[in-house]
């Protein structure tokens, strides 16, 4: 488990991370959302022990990470801008990381390398950006590290490769308890993989919630009422977060459970009524607008 307590980091006059407290639990994929400059990369670099916090505490499985090689062996960091040694090949990088991670699975790496059709002795400098990211993910999964921290890892991967990476993460989670932490500026990239999502904005945590809990507690409905009088009566007692009208069709986002929402509307005659599935983006829009933010202004689709 990773826990941070009131974490702060500044670079001169720039406050990169501002009083961040988060918990990343066992058995879940943690998504970290935020635009460029929101503090994601700085936060991840502190989790890996690359950067030392100005103040606050990082607790990884009960221990501090900075200046602790034993804790760092549990972590593999995939940066947005990847670095490989000059003239290195996948085979060379495999042997290098095997020297750093005692549990590195060379045989498993070779199998994955072949499956992704990456040549062991080809120079990495000849790889495309997407191929380099594939290679780094293969090294990370094969390292045996408990935590893989990913900074915009899916950016530059085509849909097939993204699906392949997600599948590898899922297998490693089931087989050895891998805990991925995935930072991205794009909610849609994390829609079908994250169990918990934290939203960083201007270095601080705007929201940190379990995805399933958010989905259970928010309902999106479309309804056509017989009259405005029926509509006004039906909305009494409901916690309406958002509403939109198109002709006679009303769309509402309502805080509450699905069963209680359905039961409420059964008490009124409607021309049409339907509960729709909320996307992760719609959930975040709803939650952040309540506290005075419009996520659409700083999370790019």
H or E stretch at 228? helix 228-235
Residue carrying structure tokens 């498993």: 108
For position 94, what pLDDT does the model report? 97
For position 59, what pLDDT does the model report? 95
Which pTM value belongs to this model?
A: 0.83
For position 301, what pLDDT does the model report? 45
For position 156, what pLDDT does the model report? 67
In the chain, CATH 3.40.50.300 sits at 2-202
- For 221, half-sphere exposure in the C-beta direction (CA atoms, 13 angstrom radius) is 28
- For 38, half-sphere exposure in the C-beta direction (CA atoms, 13 angstrom radius) is 24
Find out whether 129 and 161 touch, Cβ atoms under 8 Å: no
Find out whether 89 and 139 touch, Cβ atoms under 8 Å: no
For position 300, what pLDDT does the model report? 42
The DSSP bridge partners found for residue 181 are 30, 149
For position 295, what pLDDT does the model report? 60
Mean pLDDT by 10 residues, the chain (301 residues): 95 93 93 84 95 96 92 94 93 97 96 93 93 93 96 80 87 93 83 86 84 86 93 92 92 92 91 90 72 57 45
CATH pick for 213-297 out of 3.30.70, 2.60.120, 2.60.40, 1.20.120: 3.30.70
236 Cβ contact partners less than 8 Å away, ≥ 6 residues apart: none
* Superfamily of the domain at 2-202: P-loop containing nucleotide triphosphate hydrolases (3.40.50.300)
For position 297, what pLDDT does the model report? 59
């Amino acid at each position: 488990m990773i826990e941070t307590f009131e974490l702060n980091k500044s670079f001169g006059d720039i406050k990169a991370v501002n009083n961040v407290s988060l918990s990343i639990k066992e058995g879940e994929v943690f998504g970290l959302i935020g635009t460029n400059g929101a503090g994601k990369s700085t936060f991840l670099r502190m989790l890996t022990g690359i950067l030392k916090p100005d103040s606050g505490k990082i607790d990884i499985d009960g221990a501090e990470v900075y200046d602790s090689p034993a804790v760092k062996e549990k972590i593999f960091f995939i940066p947005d801008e990847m670095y490989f040694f000059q003239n290195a090949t996948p085979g060379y990088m495999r042997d290098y990381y095997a020297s750093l991670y005692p549990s590195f699975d060379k045989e498993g790496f070779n199998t994955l390398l072949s499956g992704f059709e990456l040549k062991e002795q080809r120079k990495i400098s000849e790889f495309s950006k997407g191929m380099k990211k594939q290679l780094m993910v293969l090294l990370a999964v094969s390292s045996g590290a408990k935590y893989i921290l990913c900074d915009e890892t899916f950016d530059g991967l085509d849909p097939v490769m993204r699906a392949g990476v997600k599948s590898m993460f899922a297998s490693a989670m089931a087989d050895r308890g891998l805990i991925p932490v995935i930072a991205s500026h794009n909610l849609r990239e994390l829609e079908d993989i994250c169990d918990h999502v934290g939203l960083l904005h201007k270095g601080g945590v705007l929201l940190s919630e379990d995805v399933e809990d958010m989905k259970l507690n928010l309902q999106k409905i479309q309804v056509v009422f017989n009259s405005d009088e029926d509509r006004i009566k039906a909305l009494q007692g409901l916690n309406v977060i958002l509403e939109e009208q198109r002709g006679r069709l009303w769309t509402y986002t309502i805080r509450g459970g699905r069963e209680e929402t359905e039961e409420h509307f059964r008490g009124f005659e409607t021309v049409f009524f339907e509960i729709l599935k909320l996307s992760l983006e719609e959930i975040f829009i709803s939650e952040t607008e309540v506290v005075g933010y419009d996520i659409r202004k700083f999370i790019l689709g």
